[in-house]
Amino acid sequence: MEINGTWIEDEFAEAFSMKFSRFLVTAYDQYWLDHALAKLTGYGCSAIGCDAEIDVETQIPSERSPDGRVGASVLAFSFTTDTLGTAILNRIGQTILTCPTTAVFDGLPDSETRIPIGKSLRYFGDGFQKSKMVGDIRYWRIPVMDGEFVVEESFGVEKGVAGGNFLIQTRDQLTGLQAAQSAVEAIKLLPDVVTPFPGGVVRSGSKVGSRYPGLVASTYDAFCPTLVGRTTSKIAERANCVYEIVLDGTSFDSVANALKLAINAACEHDVIAISAGNYGGKLGKHHFKLHEILTTHST
């Protein structure tokens, strides 16, 4: 199968079920919102070593935000509800509560599974905090030095999919970067999906296990150009650079649609081949077959 001269390998991406939460961060203006989001989502790339996989889903204009200010929707993923709740609580407490002018709102109000965010953060108010009910929703107002920090009592949690991916193989690094950036920009147009790695791109793809005890993952040697001839390589002929795009989404379809859009965007450049990372289908129950996605899914 080819797209614009790019060979699409008959491979599948293997992804995992994870729990996710969506919440909205607002601020006085874009300057403070950007700073809050940068700190909030920092070190949130892979559940292998981070407390959560987390990134901005979409920007929200003031006319559509909960408090009439500029905002953004954030998606956070972890393997269990408890670990997700701890990660979000710690991140909001350290990066959003501390940032001037911010407020935080639940983005999954209909979810039955809840994690106590405002309910826990309220104790920072040292007894001076106040609660207010608006309809069925409880908000906490925590006194801080520029006024009050407003946060909803709890956030919803749902089942999502993490680890959807594809591999871009190019002749040189510059072409690879251009193709990867185009793919990530295309994904940003869609709701319900995020790319949690730096700039949405991974250069250190990993495989399961290592020759060194204690390491659960190690370099994906089959796709390292400098190891061709030293290991069983899966790199296409003439390719000297490989970049991976990893996606987390709220459902199988959201990830599949994003993969299709992103792959087509990448193939607008001089990409030699597109492949995907998997573990033989043994670890993740969600299999994104590239040929099937590109011919059947709609974006």
* Per-residue CA distances from 106 to 19, 143, 272 (Å): 15, 20, 43
For the domain with range 19-158, which CATH number is right: 1.10.10.10, 3.30.70.520, 3.40.140.10, 3.40.50.720? Answer: 3.30.70.520
Class of domain 2-15+159-296: alpha beta
Look at the block and give the residue holding tokens 């599948």: 12
- pLDDT, one tens digit per residue, over 79-129 is 999 999 999 999 999 999 999 999 999 999 999 999 999 999 999 999 999
Kindly state the tokens that stand for 194.
């995020």
- Where does the chain hold its CATH 3.30.70.520 domain(s)? 2-15+159-296, 19-158
Question: Which helix (H) or strand (E) is 55 found in, with range?
Answer: strand 53-60
CA atoms within 13 A on the CB side of 105: 19
Query: Which pTM does this prediction carry?
Result: 0.95
- pLDDT, one tens digit per residue, over 7-27 is 999 999 999 999 999 999 999
